[in-house]
């Protein structure tokens, strides 16, 4: 009987730890699939190329490019995401190779004039020169922006994103995979590529080393301020070089996790306060030097999950912590438009 109970306790603990590793992001291990796409992710490019002329007739050309497939070659669990470039063969003109893109959240469709595509074709007819996006009009640029996800709800800016990947470049070729991270407090995060939305945190990393076995990569996130809160997060994986995509390069992605180590946040506190006792067992006291303006406080665990929230506070506040498990937590205090984050420990 004791062995059975111990087994149940261990199982519940492992489930708890697993849940903590994946806060707020859908399908981080790519175990759930909706048809050909991983649930909660966009791994395709869809839209219309218009005004294609052939024999004095104008028509539209539907584009459907799928980059991701389900694979049983996983780091853990049953499945992982295999990402690969795809080619577009229009009714006329050169073949276009697009890098494989996987982004969390849902993306829309684009409508673009074929003459615009011709305008930013590079000298190599088999790749797109992305530096020539400047030739697209504002209206068309907005349409192209629809192919980027608006992200998913997220409440804290991570300090880093981690993932287990295999990166297998095309035989005999040098290639580069990349990862983009953007955390936002408001607005449409799908404008990350155009820089139109102020970010709360941003990260970008490139990897050009071949990885035949699953390897954990880390993408550090830089903060725009001491305020580590956000509304949404956009995460994009690109399988191959954007400027010179290789169709046969493969990128396997699995087990995405986040770090929330706010000891790296700037120590120049905007809200002057005392926090005691620390470590705490039953309660802690939050005492702000400025007692004239009301403030609010939020407690988060190490994975960014909100535990407590109090607002409209005007004096020293006694916060009960005897209902929290022993470990590390973060206290965010906001007052008069300023924010400070402190780490504390519950014994």
Residue whose token pair is 């070089």: 241
In the prediction, which pLDDT does 301 show?
80
Does residue 220 sit within a domain? yes
- Ramachandran angles phi, psi of 141, nearest 5°: -60, -40
Rounded to an integer, what distance in angstroms lies between the CA atom of residue 160 and that of residue 179?
12
| In a shared domain, residues 256 and 274 | no
Q: What is the mean pLDDT of residues 185-209?
A: 70
Q: Give the end of a domain, one of 262, 281, 306.
A: 262
11-25 pLDDT per residue, tens: 333 333 333 333 468
| In a shared domain, residues 200 and 303 | no
**190 pLDDT more than 90:** no
The separation between CA 331 and the C-alpha centre of its own chain, rounded to angstroms, equals: 24
Q: Give the end of a domain, one of 213, 230, 262.
A: 262
In the prediction, which pLDDT does 3 show?
38
**1 pLDDT more than 80:** no
Confidence band for 138, pLDDT divided at 50, 70 and 90 = low
79-104 pLDDT per residue, tens: 999 999 998 877 766 777 889 999 99
Q: Give the end of a domain, one of 262, 282, 304.
A: 262
CATH of the domain at 199: 2.60.120.260
Q: Which are the contacts of 154, defined by CB distance < 8 A and separation ≥ 6?
A: 24, 25, 183, 230, 231, 232, 233, 304
Higher pLDDT, 327 or 59: 327
In the prediction, which pLDDT does 24 show?
62
| In a shared domain, residues 176 and 288 | no
Instruction: Determine the structural domain holding residue 167 and report its residue range.
Output: 24-262
**280 pLDDT more than 70:** yes
| In a shared domain, residues 228 and 277 | no
Confidence band for 283, pLDDT divided at 50, 70 and 90 = very high
* Cβ atoms 201, 232 nearer than 8 A: no
Looking only at the bridges linking them, the beta strands covering 44-54 and 110-113 are parallel
Does residue 238 sit within a domain? yes
142-183 pLDDT per residue, tens: 677 778 888 898 888 888 999 999 999 998 889 999 999 988
Does residue 91 sit within a domain? yes
Using a pLDDT cut of 90, give the percent of the chain over it.
40
| In a shared domain, residues 118 and 96 | yes
Q: Tokens for 43?
A: 């791994």
pTM of the model as a whole? 0.71
């Amino acid at each position: 009987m004791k062995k059975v109970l111990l087994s149940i306790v261990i199982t519940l603990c492992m489930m708890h730890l697993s849940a903590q590793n994946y806060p707020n992001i859908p399908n981080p291990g790519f175990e759930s699939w909706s048809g050909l796409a991983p649930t909660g992710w966009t791994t395709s490019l869809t839209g219309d190329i218009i005004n294609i002329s052939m024999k004095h007739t104008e028509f539209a050309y539907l584009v459907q490019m799928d980059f991701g497939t389900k694979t049983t070659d996983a780091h853990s669990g049953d499945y992982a995401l295999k990402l690969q470039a795809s080619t577009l063969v229009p009714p006329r003109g050169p073949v276009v190779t697009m890098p494989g893109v996987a982004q969390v959240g849902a993306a829309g469709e684009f409508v673009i004039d074929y003459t615009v595509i011709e305008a930013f074709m590079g000298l190599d007819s088999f790749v797109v020169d992305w530096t020539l996006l400047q030739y697209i009009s504002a209206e068309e640029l907005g349409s192209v922006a629809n192919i980027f996800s608006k992200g998913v709800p997220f409440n804290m800016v991570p300090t880093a994103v981690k993932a287990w990947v295999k990166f297998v470049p095309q035989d005999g070729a040098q290639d580069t995979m990349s990862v983009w991270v953007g955390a936002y407090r408001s607005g449409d995060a799908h404008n990350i590529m155009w820089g139109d939305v102020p970010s709360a945190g941003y990260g970008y990393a490139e990897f050009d080393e071949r990885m035949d076995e699953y390897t954990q990569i880390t993408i550090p996130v830089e903060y725009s301020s001491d305020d580590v809160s956000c509304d949404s997060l956009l995460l994009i994986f690109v399988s191959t070089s954007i400027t010179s995509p290789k169709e046969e390069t493969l990128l396997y992605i699995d087990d995405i996790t986040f770090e929330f180590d706010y000891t790296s946040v700037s120590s120049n506190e905007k809200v002057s306060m005392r926090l005691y006792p620390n470590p705490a067992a039953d309660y802690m006291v939050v005492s702000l030097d400025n007692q004239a303006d009301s403030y609010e406080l939020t407690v988060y665990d190490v994975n960014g999950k909100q535990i407590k929230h109090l607002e409209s506070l005007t004096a020293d506040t006694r916060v009960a912590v005897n209902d929290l498990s022993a470990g590390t937590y973060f206290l965010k205090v906001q007052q008069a438009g300023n924010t400070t984050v402190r780490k504390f420990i519950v014994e």
